Amino acid sequence: MANLDDLYKEIILDHYKNPRNKGELETPPAIKSQGYNPFCGDEVTVYLDVEDDIIKDIKIESSGCSISQSSASMMTQAVKGSKIDEAEDKIYQFKAMMDLHEQNIDRDTDEEENNLLKKNNLGELEALKGVVKFPTRIKCATLPWNTLIEAIRQENDND
Ligand code: ZN
Instruction: Quickly state the pLDDT bin for 112 (edges 50, 70, 90).
Output: low
pTM of full prediction above 0.85: yes
User: How many whole angstroms from 129 Cα to the centroid of ligand 1?
Assistant: 15
Q: Which of 106, 19, 121 is nearest to 70 (CA)?
A: 19
Burial (Cβ within 10 Å: 0-12, 13-18, ≥19) of residue 46: buried
* Residue with the larger pLDDT of the pair 67 and 99: 67
* Residue with the larger pLDDT of the pair 114 and 58: 58
| 94-100-103 Cα angle (round to 5) | 145
pLDDT at site 109: 53
Q: 47-70, pLDDT tens digit by residue?
A: 999 999 999 999 999 999 999 999
Strands annotated E in the chain: 31-37, 42-51, 54-63
pLDDT at site 3: 75
User: How many whole angstroms from 15 Cα to the centroid of ligand 1?
Assistant: 14
